[in-house]
Amino acid sequence: MRKTAVLLCLIFSILFSAAFINRDDQLIPIPACSQRTGNAEKGYEYLTSGDFLKSGVPYGFFIMKNGVAKDNLLGRTGKNANVEEGYNVVHTSDSVDIVIPTCLQCHSQVFEGKLYVGLGNTFKDFSNISNQRVPGAGIKFMQASAPRQYNAFKAFLQSYNTVNPEIETEIRGVNPADRLAAVLVAHRDPKTLMWTDTPILNVPASVVVTDVPAWWLLKKKNAMFYTAFGRGDFSKFLMMSNLLTVSDSSEASEVDSHFGDVLAYINSLEPPKYPCPIDKKLAAEGKLIFGDNCQDCHGTYGANSTYPNLLIPGNVIQTDSLLFTANQQNNKFLDWFNNSWFAQGPNPAKPVPILSTQVAINIFLALS
Ligand code: HEC
Ligand code: HEC
């Protein structure tokens, strides 16, 4: 009996170690998905002046609180010239000018005095936001004196006050967008996308943060996000910010109709040239090291660049597992997504979870 057990153990350990001998066997290729086409110029226009949120802070109120922006880094005209690059001034169907936060809050950064659209913003500070609430007295005053303005503000206010305490980070420079999406999803009906005050999903307590990937990398990728969760139609994932204030799925469909153009714009971006001096000798040495040790996973650069599009098992990469065991791996979140408006219609999003609870070696990380 004992002999059989020992023998079985031996066979198992041999089988298991065999599975680890060739690391390359475990690198899983990510298949490509077809994407919408669009007009890059229109996409840029929409990103920097479009109304992908239909509710926001009334313009007068915003300027009273923040003043007029010092710089007009996007070179915009009209009222957009008076707000920073991370905001758009848009006109509601009720003829109110509102200020909405945009993708560029997280996806643009000034470096060496120049604004780079598409560079992840490492200065954005989410570490002290839980106390940022609009004072009740100010809201009451607006309700009484400017009902149309209040109406245009209402959905934004509700979402802002609900979400802010949930996405505070421990330090600055990291980004809680994954959690923001999870919290918003918890307050929305999957089919109609309408708001519910009581969350319909339990969102795990921890705020698991990530970096913000550069937009010019997206065109190389067969899946979006660090965990490669974003499969199917990319534009559907790109428009998820609309969940902040969306009134219903017909509004989402209107916003969605612009996101083929937004994807075309993102795909038109090229990595900017590093503006500071580079030590050519060291760079040449680094290139060799990169070729020998890194490019099988991270790809090659230059004229004939390649990008492997691989999922790397957790036991191979051995980085902190928190990200790939959290966020989008929550089954309730996936069920919501797969039953939602986002997964329907002619261009469905098809999220793919990476965690299998049965076998630990099925935990993968996508390569960004
Ligand atoms: C609150 C900050 C924030 C806002 C606002 C935001 N994003 Fe992101 N975005 C992120 C973070 C963080 C990630 C990475 C998440 C991950 O991989 O887990 C991301 C990922 C992406 C990616 C995926 C890139 C890749 O290579 O996988 C694209 C493209 C993108 N966002 C576009 C947009 C667009 C378009 C908007 C506006 C409609 C937007 N984002 C709004 C923070 C933000
Ligand atoms: C076996 C595949 C593999 C090899 C080989 C590899 N990496 Fe990575 N690398 C990854 C994965 C997977 C991640 C994401 C890990 C995570 O987020 O926990 C990563 C992350 C990174 C990051 C952080 C990227 C970001 O967006 O935050 C850098 C920088 C990096 N690797 C550089 C290198 C360098 C330099 C080498 C060679 C010396 C190398 N890697 C070799 C798989 C690999």
* Residue range 300-317, pLDDT digits in tens: 988 888 999 998 887 888
Q: How many domains is the chain built from?
A: 1
Q: Which pLDDT score, from 0 to 100, does residue 284 have? A: 96
CB 131 within 8 Å of CB 121: no
Burial classification of residue 62, based on how many CB atoms lie within 10 Å of its CB (0-12 exposed, 13-18 middle, 19 or more buried): buried
Give a yes or no: residue 110 inside a domain: no
Q: Whose CA is nearest to atom 14 of ligand 2?
A: 367
Q: Which pLDDT score, from 0 to 100, does residue 5 have? A: 57
For residue 65, how many other CB atoms are within 10 A of its CB? 10
Q: Which pLDDT score, from 0 to 100, does residue 25 have? A: 60
Task: Write out the H or E segment, with its range, that includes residue 266.
Answer: helix 259-268
Pocket test for ligand 2, best of 122, 216, 294, 310 (most atoms within 8 A of CB): 294
What ligand 1 atom has the least distance to the C-alpha of 101?
5
Q: Whose CA is nearest to atom 12 of ligand 2?
A: 367
Residue ranges in the chain modelled with pLDDT below 70: 1-25, 327-329, 354-368
- Closest ligand by atom to 209 CA: 1
Q: How far apart are the first and last CA of the chain?
A: 50
Contact residues for 226 (Cβ-Cβ < 8 A; gap 6+): 210, 211, 213, 323, 365, 366, 368
Q: Which pLDDT score, from 0 to 100, does residue 319 have? A: 83
Give a yes or no: residue 255 inside a domain: yes
Give a yes or no: residue 190 inside a domain: no
Give a yes or no: residue 228 inside a domain: yes
- Residue 193: DSSP 8-state: -
What ligand 2 atom has the least distance to the C-alpha of 211?
27
Going from the Cα of 24 to the center of ligand 2, the distance in angstroms, rounded, reads 15
Pocket test for ligand 1, best of 241, 298, 329, 364 (most atoms within 8 A of CB): 241
Q: Which pLDDT score, from 0 to 100, does residue 327 have? A: 57
* Residue range 157-176, pLDDT digits in tens: 999 999 999 999 999 999 99
The distance from CA 356 to its chain's CA centroid, rounded to whole angstroms, is: 23
Pocket around ligand 2 at a 6 A CB cut-off: 211, 226, 293-294, 296-298, 312, 316-317, 319, 365, 367-368
User: Does the predicted TM-score (pTM) go above 0.75?
Assistant: yes
* Residue range 214-233, pLDDT digits in tens: 999 999 999 999 888 899 99
Give a yes or no: residue 125 inside a domain: no
Give a yes or no: residue 287 inside a domain: yes
* DSSP states of 16-71: HHHHHH-GGGG-EEPPP-------HHHHHHHHHH--SSS--EEHHHHHHHH-S-S-
Q: Is 259 helix (H, G, I), strand (E, B) or coil?
A: helix
Q: Which pLDDT score, from 0 to 100, does residue 365 have? A: 56
Token pair belonging to 12: 């198992």
Q: Which pLDDT score, from 0 to 100, does residue 17 have? A: 45
Give a yes or no: residue 103 inside a domain: no
Give a yes or no: residue 177 inside a domain: no
Q: Residue 336: which domain range?
A: 22-49+214-366
